[in-house]
Chain A
C-alpha cells in the first residue's frame, strides 16, 4: 500500500506539471489519480453491483481478574467469506501487542520527534542537556514491570484441532485446515489473555485508572476495555488483507458482525458495553430494573445506579462475581467498561422511524465526574443523535453510551469513553469550570458522532484518518453550534487551520495516518474546515447536504474509501470538485488571494467633441511641473509673454482642439457600424457605466472562489462571488473586468473570512495597514472572564469594610 501511494503521488506530480512553460493544471481531472471504478465501487462513488464485504460473528466469554488487572477470555469466531476469492488463512489483529516494548510502534518511536520536513535546521547544541519527560520514564518502568501483549493460549478449528498460527507484531496469521471458497464460512476458537495496561502510564485508548484515595482498602479501579480480543483483520476489495502494522496513530479497519458477550466481573461492578444487556434480572436489583424501564420515557435522565449506591459500592468490595451478558448486532467492534465506582443514568430518546424508534442514551461515571456528568452527558448524547441523524441516517443501534474514565475521548459502537472531570473543593463539594463543561459537551458530541463515522460508515481508519476524524469534526462543529451558538467552540473557527496551512510543517490530508506530521490539524481541523467551506461557500447548503446524506446512506454499514466520498459528493451535487479535492486533500497549498491592482476605466465615445474635451480635463488636473511652479515663484519672465506680437494658430488652439477631420472620421465610424453595433454603442454611451479591471494573484497556491465585498461612493455595498474556475488557465494571476453603475470606493477580498485566507493585508483596495494581533491587543482591555469557575467563586464571602463593621 505504501508503494502504491508513492507511485500515485509521483504520477500525480508529473501529470499536472509540464516541461514547456510554467502552467500548472490545478483543475486536472482527479480520476486519473483515483482507483479505476469497478463492479465493487462504481464511478458514481457508490457500492458497485457486485459489492461485497466479509461478515465475522463472535461469541466471547471473558473474565476480569481485578486483583491482577488481567483479562482472559475465549472466543468462537464464525467467518463468512463473501469475497470472490478463496482464502487459505485468516489474519487477525492483536492490538494489545502494540504495548509490548519490542513492538514496531515502540521501537520506531524517536527521541526528538521528526527532523526531516525541512532542510537546514535542527542544529541542537550538543553541549546543552537534553530533556526527558517523567511520563516517558513512567511508561518505560511500567513496561519493564508488566508483561504486555497477548498470551495466545490456543487456536483451534471447529472440530477442536489445534491450528497453526504465526504472530507477526500486532498481526496473527491462522492457517486453515482447508481453504474457504467464496460463499463458504469457517469456525475457529481462540483462548487468550493479557495484562491490562494502566492508561495514565502507557497511554492508548483503553486501560485501567486507579483511585488510591477511595475509602476501600487498596482503592478502586475503572477499567476501560477495548481492542481486547483478537479481531479479524479486514479483507477488502481494494487491499485484500489489511497488513499495515498497528503503530499507534492509525486506528482500526474492521468487519461487521454479530456479537454475543459474557463478561464476568466482580459482583459489585457495574458494566457498560457495546450491545443490549440481555440479563438485567441477574445483574441489577429489581429497583434498578424498574428505573431502567422508567428512563425510557423520562423527560430528564433517570439514575439506574444512584450516586448513593455507587458510593456504597466503592467503599466495600466482594470476592463474588457476576456475569453480564450483552448482544450486539451488525457492529464492527465491541468495547466495555467495568467498575464499582460507576453510577449510571439513562434517558430514552424517542427517535421515531422504523429503524430504532427508541434509543437508550446512557452515561456511566464515578463521583469524580459529578455534578457535571449527571447534568450534561446523557443530554449531550441525545443532542448528538438528533443532529447527526439529520445529516446522515437514523441512529441504527438500540443504545448510545458515554462512559467516564482515564481516556480523554474514544469511540466504539454504541459506547464512548470520555474524560472530563470535576474538582474537589475544600468544602467537599465538586465544581467545574466553563471550559470543562464545554469539554464534556464537545467530547461527547465528538465521540458519539463517531458511532456514525466510522462505526457505521465503516471507513478505513488505519489509512485515512480524515475520513472519520475530519468528517466527524465537521458535523461536531454544527452540533456544537446548535447546542449553543454563543459558545466559542474550538471546532467552529478557522484560526487553527490558518496558522497550520501557512506553516512549513505539514503533509497532505491524504497522507497515511501514522505518517501525519500534525495529527490534529491534518486529520481533524483542515478537513473539517474544507468541508465547511465546501458547504457554505462552494456548493451551498442545499447541494452539499443532499450529497453528504447520499454518501452517508450509500455507505451505511459498508466500507467507503476516499474516492467513494469524492465521487459521491460530485455525482450527487452535480458539481465538478476535482480542483477542490486536489487543493485541500492532495496538496499543502494554502489560501492567499491578493488583490494587486485596480484600474478605473471610462468608455470613450469616439466623438472628438466629447473625448478631446475629457482628455483636456484630465490633463488639466495633473499637477504642473515643479520647475514651472518655481519659475513662477521667481517671477521668471517667459519669451512668449515678452513677445506677444508674434503668434500663430497654435497659440489659440491646443492639442485637444477638434477639427472637422476628426468629426468626419467619427461620422465614418458611426456609419460603419451595423445596426446592432450602433444600438449597443449608443446604450453604452447613454449608461456611461464605471469600468474597473482588477488584478488578482494567488499567492498561496490553493485555487478558491474569489469573494468580493464592493463598497460604492454612495455608501451602498454589493457582494460578488467568482467561481474557482476563474483560475483554470492562469492559476497564479488573473485579471477581471467589472462594470458598475456606481463609482467604487473600496474593495475587500473574502470580507466574511470564509475561505481561510491566511493574509488579509493584501485583501483590501485601497490597501489598509492591518494591525497585528499584538498591536490590537495593546489598544484594548484584558478580558479574563472565560475561565472562571463561577460555581466555586460564587461561594466567596463578601469582604465587609472594617470601619463599617465597627
Chain B
C-alpha cells in the first residue's frame, strides 16, 4: 500500500526563476478505488490496516520478481510475461485481499492477484497512449506464478513508458526487474521503492 506524494512546487536548477521551496504533500491514495471494481474497492479500504499489521520480509534475502516485455514479430504482438514467486503472491494476496467477507480460497486469491497486477502494470507510448493489455491468463509452474498479457504490436513504437508497482507498495525492498526484449536485444528497467513509472528508448531513437 502506498500513499501518493503530490509535488506542489518544484525547484529546477536549470531555471533561475524556479528557485522556490519544494513541498511534498502526503495524500491518501484514491487511485486504488478508481481502478478496481466495486468488490475490490472494499478490499483496498482494508489494505491500510493490513499494512500496519506486520512485515514478513526475509532478513537478508530480498524479494524479486521479473517481467518480460517481448516484441513478437511473428504474432505481431507485445507479450508481457510476469514471474512472481508463488510464496510472495500468497502472502501478498492474503494481506491485500483476505480481510472482510472475502474468501480465503487460494484460487480466488490468485485471481485477485492477477487482477491486481493488471492494474499495477501498464505500457504507454510516448504520446501517453495506453497500450491496452489483454489478460491471457496465469499458471503455476515450479515455484512461480506466471501471468500473461499481450497487446497488438503497433509499427511505430519508438519509446515505451512502463509502470510497475506490484508488490513494491507492500514491501519497500521488493524489486521488479523488467526486461524489454526486441530484435534479440534486451534493455532493462528496475522498479523499486517509489519508482513506478519509467521510460525506455529503443536504440534507433538514441
Contacts of A201 on B, CB cut-off 8 Å?
Answer: 55
B175 in contact with A518 (CB, 8 Å): yes
A408 in contact with B143 (CB, 8 Å): no
Asked if A772 is an interface residue, CB under 8 A from chain B, the answer is yes
Complex CA distance for A772 and B146, rounded to whole angstroms:
13
* CB of B34 to closest CB in A, whole Å: 14
A126 in contact with B7 (CB, 8 Å): yes
Q: In the complex, which of the residues B60, B146, B186, B199 contacts A777, with contact meaning CB atoms closer than 8 Å? A: B146
Asked if A124 is an interface residue, CB under 8 A from chain B, the answer is yes
A129 in contact with B139 (CB, 8 Å): no
Asked if A355 is an interface residue, CB under 8 A from chain B, the answer is no
> Which of A52-60, A115-123, A316-324, A564-572 contacts its partner?
A115-123
Q: Give the residue name and chain of the B residue nearest to A450 (CB).
A: B60
Q: A130-B194, A438-B87, A499-B68 are in contact. Are A121 and B189 (CB under 8 A)?
A: yes
Complex CA distance for A117 and B63, rounded to whole angstroms:
20
- Residue interface mask B45-80, A partner, CB < 8 A = 1: 000100110111111111110101010101100011
Contacts of B106 on A, CB cut-off 8 Å?
Answer: 433, 784, 787-789, 793
B54 in contact with A121 (CB, 8 Å): no
Q: In the complex, which of the residues A417, A438, A504 contacts B186, with contact meaning CB atoms closer than 8 Å? A: A504
Complex CA distance for A205 and B58, rounded to whole angstroms:
9
Complex CA distance for A112 and B196, rounded to whole angstroms:
9
Q: In the complex, which of the residues B1, B197, B206 contacts A133, with contact meaning CB atoms closer than 8 Å? A: B1
Contacts of B148 on A, CB cut-off 8 Å?
Answer: 773-774, 777
Asked if A308 is an interface residue, CB under 8 A from chain B, the answer is no
Contacts of A110 on B, CB cut-off 8 Å?
Answer: 193
B61 in contact with A520 (CB, 8 Å): yes
- Residue interface mask B172-203, A partner, CB < 8 A = 1: 11010101000010111110111111111100
A111 in contact with B179 (CB, 8 Å): no
Asked if A169 is an interface residue, CB under 8 A from chain B, the answer is no
* CB of B102 to closest CB in A, whole Å: 13
Interface residue count for B (Cβ, 8 Å)?
Answer: 87
A251 in contact with B60 (CB, 8 Å): yes
Contacts of B141 on A, CB cut-off 8 Å?
Answer: 488, 783
B60 in contact with A783 (CB, 8 Å): no
Q: A132-B3, A787-B86, A787-B106 are in contact. Are A205 and B177 (CB under 8 A)?
A: no
* CB of A221 to closest CB in B, whole Å: 13
Chain B CB within 10 Å, residue with most, of A129, A204, A517, A778: A129
Q: A129-B6, A132-B2, A778-B136 are in contact. Are A409 and B90 (CB under 8 A)?
A: no
A786 in contact with B140 (CB, 8 Å): yes
Q: In the complex, which of the residues B10, B55, B64, B83 contacts A200, with contact meaning CB atoms closer than 8 Å? A: B55
* CB of A771 to closest CB in B, whole Å: 9
Complex CA distance for A128 and B128, rounded to whole angstroms:
12
Contacts of A131 on B, CB cut-off 8 Å?
Answer: 2-5, 29, 165, 169, 194, 196
B139 in contact with A499 (CB, 8 Å): no
Asked if B27 is an interface residue, CB under 8 A from chain A, the answer is yes
A499 in contact with B177 (CB, 8 Å): yes
Q: Within B1-27, which residues are at the interface with A (CB < 8 Å)?
A: 1-7, 10, 24, 26-27
Asked if A490 is an interface residue, CB under 8 A from chain B, the answer is yes
B107 in contact with A121 (CB, 8 Å): no
**B residues apposed to A, CB below 8 Å:** 1-7, 10, 24, 26-27, 29, 48, 51-52, 54-64, 66, 68, 70, 72, 74-75, 79-81, 83, 85-87, 89-90, 94, 104-107, 110, 136-146, 148, 150, 165, 168-173, 175, 177, 179, 184, 186-190, 192-201, 206
Top-7 shortest CB links A-B:
A408-B58, A113-B192, A504-B188, A131-B2, A129-B4, A488-B142, A410-B59
Supplied contacts A124-B195, A127-B7, 9 more A-B pairs, CB within 8 Å: A112-B192, A118-B187, A131-B3, A134-B3, A493-B142, A503-B188, A519-B60, A775-B79, A778-B136
